[in-house]
Amino acid sequence: MPSIAPSDSRLELTPSGFAALMGAAADAIVIIDEHGRILNFNGAAERLFGYSSEQVLGENVAILMPSKHGLQHDTYLRNYLDTRIPRIIGIGRKVEAKRQDATVFPAELSVGEYSDGNSVFFVGIIRDLTERERQDNALRQSESRLREREQELNVTLDNAPIGILSIALDGRIIGANQAACRLMGYSEQELTGKVYFDLLLPQDVAATEMHRQSLTEGSAETFVLNNRYLHRDGSVVHVVLHCGVVFDVHGEAERFVAQLVDRTSQVRAEQEASEFRERLAHVDRISTMGEMASGIAHEINQPLAAISSYVQACRRRIERNPPDIPRSLELLARADEQSLRAGKIVERVRALIRSQDRLRERTRLNEILSDAVQLARVDTNTRGIQINENVVDASPEVIVDSIQIQQVVLNLIRNAIDATEGVEPRPPAIELGCQVGPEEDMARVWVRDFGGGVPQEMVEQLFEPFVTSKSLGTGMGLSISRTIVKAHGGQLWYENAEDGACFVFTLPLAVTGEQGD
């Protein structure tokens, strides 16, 4: 047994000390002579290679190597002994080793050399790398999976339809995906380093800052807010901002992640729609006024024509010889009556002009209906048509612009008169009704005539502007009426009734205590 001689002679190993050292070593230790024969094989080596010491002692160390290396080993050994150029001694290297069961495993081999004065011996320490390699492989695999995920995530983030910004706690942008760049008109490089608040419209800074604080103070984890940015081209970009905070491993706020959902086109569409609505309302007001003016001109024409004919008749009576004074006085009284009617109409024109700025007020629906009937009398009287108001059996209260609702009723009555006039045999009276319900919060008004009804082919377009069957009609009455009713929260529709037409509209009932504008 060779002895190892350390510099301190007190530590010189006895054979039993050497055996203890070999036995205690956690790594496999194999000692060979200069011919490669195994002289010592410790317990760890037995466990690692699966051979007992007796099986390998005296064998060539090549049995511990896969055959391709084993064959070359003797050559290596000889070369070293000839040249003394170390290729492994004192260097160590990773090698492949072979167990008794022929399985090959990776190992780290360190080799030391010593001499007893006559012969050279080599000590090989072999450490199994199987587990480490498995771990390295697993680590490499998980790293490569992580890289793949990272790439996937980057591609996903870049192609996401929503803008995503990573923002440092001081408000500086530290990352932006392509959607965020497109949204604001800057490249990622340009965005990086900019302060988020500098991109916002000044009006939106305060509210955003307040929410940001609630995130950093921990009173909220996310917030959602409408924000507006100034795009690089100067246009305003509307977004819904979803902002969350990212915490580090110690639970400290680290940065913000902002998701920006573009709502610019939605906001523009809403703006356009509201502008359009306003324009439409304006056109409506103008056409409502025009419609009413022409109606009133028509109304005024009636009494004026009557006055003119009464006055002519009166003149003829006075010119008679002898003049027919009693009859003339009677005719003058009629003319006077008509002039009063004309005066009332003018008064209503005044009321109409005043009503342009009228506010809605709490009114009894019956009063509006009676006023409308009163206005319509000019027409009904001259044409010998009756309006039956007796069916007005409820007196609901509504909050409306009463002049406008009066116009609706008047328009329906006029249409009913037009439909009734000239029909033979003379149809029953036009019916005007009003009730609460059937919906408990709505009042319902109807105007029903027996004039034959609306021709089937017209029913579909009845409420469209310029649809008329009258030579002097405008086709605007029903369309304007529907607009007015809708603006008051009600509906106007046509119902096919036996022998005639029935137009119905609803209005919301005034809630107790509600007074209007």
Give the residue among 137, 141, 188, 148 at the shortest CA–CA distance from 165: 188
Q: Find the part of the chain contacting ligand ADP (CB under 6 A) among 20-28, 61-69, 387-395, 453-461.
A: 453-461
Q: Which of 451, 482, 485, 492: binder of ligand ADP (CB under 6 A)?
A: 451
Compute the least distance from the CB of residue 462 to ligand ADP, in Å: 5
Compute the least distance from the CB of residue 291 to ligand ADP, in Å: 8
Compute the least distance from the CB of residue 455 to ligand ADP, in Å: 7
Angstrom distance (rounded) from CA 437 to CA 506? 9
Give the residue among 416, 428, 413, 420 at the shortest CA–CA distance from 369: 413
Tell me the DSSP string of 462-504.
TTSTT---STT--S-HHHHHHHHHHHTT--EEEEEETTEEEEE
Give the residue among 348, 363, 507, 331 at the shortest CA–CA distance from 435: 507
Q: Which of 470, 493, 514, 516: binder of ligand ADP (CB under 6 A)?
A: 470
Q: Which of 415, 442, 443, 450: binder of ligand ADP (CB under 6 A)?
A: 415
Compute the least distance from the CB of residue 207 to ligand ADP, in Å: 49
Residue 477 binds ligand ADP (CB under 6 A): yes
Q: Find the part of the chain contacting ligand ADP (CB under 6 A) among 105-113, 143-151, 337-345, 462-470.
A: 462-470
Compute the least distance from the CB of residue 470 to ligand ADP, in Å: 5
18 contact partners, CB below 8 Å, separation of at least 6: 1, 3, 4
Angstrom distance (rounded) from CA 313 to CA 150? 103
Task: Determine the residue type at 94.
Answer: K
Based on CB atoms, which residue is closest to ligand ADP, 140 or 470?
Answer: 470
Burial class (CB in 10 A: 0-12, 13-18, 19+), 413: buried
Based on CB atoms, which residue is closest to ligand ADP, 396 or 477?
Answer: 477
Strand order in the sheet with 38-41: 38-41, 28-33, 120-128, 104-115, 93-98
Compute the least distance from the CB of residue 498 to ligand ADP, in Å: 13
Residue 427 binds ligand ADP (CB under 6 A): no
Separation of CA 13 from chain center: 83
Beta bridge partners of 255: 168, 246
Based on CB atoms, which residue is closest to ligand ADP, 119 or 469?
Answer: 469
Compute the least distance from the CB of residue 321 to ligand ADP, in Å: 49
Q: What tokens appear for 500 in the block?
A: 């005639």
Q: Total binding residues for ligand ADP by CB under 6 A?
A: 22
Residue 419 binds ligand ADP (CB under 6 A): yes
Angstrom distance (rounded) from CA 151 to CA 480? 62
Compute the least distance from the CB of residue 482 to ligand ADP, in Å: 9
Beta bridge partners of 242: 224, 259
Residue 379 binds ligand ADP (CB under 6 A): no
Would you tell me how many other CB atoms lie within 10 Å of the CB of residue 411?
Answer: 23
Residue 430 binds ligand ADP (CB under 6 A): no
Residue with tokens 């510099």: 7
Specify the 3-state DSSP secondary structure of 352.
helix
Q: Is the dihedral of CA 156, 158, 163, 168 positive or negative?
A: positive
Residue 429 binds ligand ADP (CB under 6 A): no
Angstrom distance (rounded) from CA 121 to CA 141? 42
Based on CB atoms, which residue is closest to ligand ADP, 405 or 454?
Answer: 454
Q: Which of 43, 106, 475, 508: binder of ligand ADP (CB under 6 A)?
A: 475
Q: What tokens appear for 404 in the block?
A: 């406008």
Please give the residues from 50 up to 109 whose contact with ligand ADP meets the rule CB under 6 A: none
Instruction: Please report, for residues 114, 176, 201, the alpha-carbon distance to residue 196 in angstroms, rounded to integers and kept in the order given.
Output: 71, 11, 11
Alpha helices in 232-360 (DSSP H): 264-319, 325-355
Angstrom distance (rounded) from CA 145 to CA 138? 10
Q: Which of 454, 492, 507, 510: binder of ligand ADP (CB under 6 A)?
A: 454
Based on CB atoms, which residue is closest to ligand ADP, 184 or 429?
Answer: 429
Compute the least distance from the CB of residue 461 to ligand ADP, in Å: 9
Residue 478 binds ligand ADP (CB under 6 A): yes
Q: Find the part of the chain contacting ligand ADP (CB under 6 A) among 20-28, 315-323, 363-371, 464-472.
A: 464-472
Please give the residues from 486 up to 515 whose contact with ligand ADP meets the rule CB under 6 A: 501
Q: What tokens appear for 309 in the block?
A: 């004919």
Tell me the DSSP string of 2-68.
-----SSGGGPPPHHHHHHHHHH-SSEEEEEETT-BEEEE-HHHHHHH---HHHHTTSBGGGGS-HH
Based on CB atoms, which residue is closest to ligand ADP, 399 or 412?
Answer: 412
Compute the least distance from the CB of residue 278 to ligand ADP, in Å: 24
Q: Which of 154, 469, 491, 496: binder of ligand ADP (CB under 6 A)?
A: 469
Compute the least distance from the CB of residue 490 to ligand ADP, in Å: 17
Binding mask 309-328 for ligand ADP (x = CB under 6 A): --------------------
Q: Find the part of the chain contacting ligand ADP (CB under 6 A) among 126-134, 228-236, 386-394, 452-460.
A: 452-460
Q: Which of 89, 255, 468, 487: binder of ligand ADP (CB under 6 A)?
A: 468
Q: What tokens appear for 402 in the block?
A: 């009463």
Residue 449 binds ligand ADP (CB under 6 A): yes
Give the residue among 349, 348, 346, 342 at the shortest CA–CA distance from 307: 342
- Residues within the interface to ligand ADP (CB under 6 A): 411, 415-416, 419, 449, 451, 453-454, 458, 462, 467-470, 473-479, 501
